[in-house]
Amino acid sequence: MAVSNRHLLQIEGMHPPQISSLLDLAESYVLLNRSGKTQRDLLRGRTLINLFFEDSTRTRTSFELAGKRLGADVINMSVSTSSVNKGETLLDTAATLNAMMCDLLVVRHSQSGAPNLLAQKVDAAVINAGDGTHEHPTQALLDALTIRRRRGRLEGLKIAICGDVLHSRVARSNIHLLSAMGSRVRVVGPPTLIPAECERLGVEVFHDMAQGLRDCDVVMALRLQRERMTGGQVPSAREYFRFYGLDFEKLSHAKPDALVMHPGPMNRGVEIDSAVADDPVRSVIKEQVEMGVAVRMAVLDVLARANRRNV
Ligand code: ASP
């Protein structure tokens, strides 16, 4: 996988065949999960530690379920970083986990690059579950699986990623993955929330939702990441919703059957209208959650096979 075969740290650098084969494997786990069967021998006797320095609902739970469905012993560690030096904590933690002979380490951290640092210090296979504003690779994989299942392909699709792109690791991973797979990615948001690197990444930039959504196959709304903002980047929530909140009027500029996605957690009435989020035909938000478990099973499976000595 990206950087090395031992870890999953980022999408950037992954090749299309690697991505496709992970999605194919995840597809088989969707079927397994739907059949109610499990494959508990794959990670039997192995230990997976969920190490979360930041809040999470979906990601942590789905890694836990994925690990358990493959037979791993799963341990959840939530670590508060509020009062400690993050760098020191991370290295101390690495030493502790190494001594525990953990096989798979799923890490979420508020600082970009923290999982890479851990990967250099521990023997376990490290999986990035979201680091600062850098990447959230399994989210991009589950988004791609959701789109591919609905549309049968990724290539040539017009995909709009809307809202707070600047602070979004989900956007960054998605831009890398979808561009690599031949989708035409565009970002839509206020100038204060669109990073300069978008143009370097070959992504089209729009500041107007009507223009940005025109003829899109997929519209992905992003949460305003207020916890990462330093101030003044957005007007009031009401004002923001008026210009950038995804409602049916704005969605009408996309293709009539365009899919609506959101990585969660949603701020209803801020970046997305409840009626759109809950629309049973257009919204695939719940399906994204289901795909999350299957994708994480596929990632654990591949890393287990690639790290036979450790895992
Ligand atoms: N759950 C996603 C993340 O951890 C998106 C978000 O928090 O808005 O990046």
Which residues surround ligand 1 with Cβ inside 6 Å? 130, 136, 169-170, 223, 225, 263-264
> To which H or E segment does residue 206 belong?
strand 204-206
Average pLDDT of the residues in 33-45: 93
Mutational pocket test of ligand 1: of 133, 135, 136, 289, the residue with most ligand atoms within 8 Å of the beta carbon = 136
Best residue among 164, 165, 223 to mutate for probing ligand 1's pocket (most ligand atoms within 8 Å of CB) is 223
Residue pair 106/50 in contact by the 8 Å Cβ criterion = yes
Question: What angle (nearest 5°) sits at the alpha carbon of residue 56, between those of residues 209 and 177?
Answer: 50
Pairing relation of β-strands 125-131 and 204-206? unpaired
Least confident of 81-85, 109-113, 190-194, 282-286: 81-85
If you measure from the C-alpha of residue 257 to the centroid of ligand 1, how many angstroms do you get, rounded to a whole number? 26
Q: Please identify, by atom number, the ligand 1 atom nearest to the C-alpha of residue 129.
A: 4
Question: Does residue 39 contact residue 71 with C-beta atoms inside 8 Å?
Answer: yes
| Helix/strand/coil for 252 | coil
Nearest-angstrom CA–CA distance, 268 and 237: 10
* DSSP per-residue codes, 203-258: -EEES-HHHHHTT-SEEEE----GGG--SSSS--HHHHHHHH-B-HHHHTTS-TT-
- Average pLDDT of span 23-31: 98
CA of 178 to the centre of ligand 1 (A): 18
pLDDT at 218 over 80: yes
Contact 223/166 with Cβ under 8 angstroms? no
Closest residue by Cα to atom 4, ligand 1, is 130
Q: Give the whole-angstrom CA distance, residue 28 versus residue 295.
A: 10
How sure is the predictor about 5, in pLDDT bands with cuts at 50, 70 and 90? confident
Expressed in angstroms and rounded, the spacing between residue 28 Cα and the centre of ligand 1 is 26
127 pLDDT more than 60: yes
| Lookup result for tokens 């341990």 | 75
Gap between the Cα atoms of 84 and 91, Å rounded: 12
Question: What value does the mean pLDDT take over residues 71-99?
Answer: 76
- Measure 45 CA to ligand 1 centroid, in angstroms: 31
Lowest mean pLDDT across 26-35, 66-75, 78-87, 135-144: 78-87
Residue 248 CA to ligand 1 center (angstroms) comes to: 23
Question: pLDDT confidence of 118, banded at 50, 70, 90?
Answer: very high
pLDDT value at residue 4 = 52
Residue type present at position 231? G
Question: What pLDDT, on a 0 to 100 scale, did the predictor assign at position 89?
Answer: 75
Gap between the Cα atoms of 254 and 246, Å rounded:
11
Say how many Å lie between the CA of residue 263 and the centre of ligand 1. 6
Q: What is the pLDDT of residue 1?
A: 56
The type of residue at 286 is: K
pTM above 0.75, yes or no: yes
**N-terminal to C-terminal alpha carbon distance within the chain:** 16
Q: What is the pLDDT of residue 86?
A: 57
What's the one-letter identity of residue 183?
Answer: S
Q: Please give the torsion angle defined by the CA atoms of residues 130, 135, 141 and 142, in that order, rounded to the nearest 10 degrees.
A: 40
Lookup: tokens for 297: 């099973």
Q: Is the pLDDT of residue 84 over 70?
A: no
Ligand 1 center to residue 84 CA distance, Å? Answer: 23
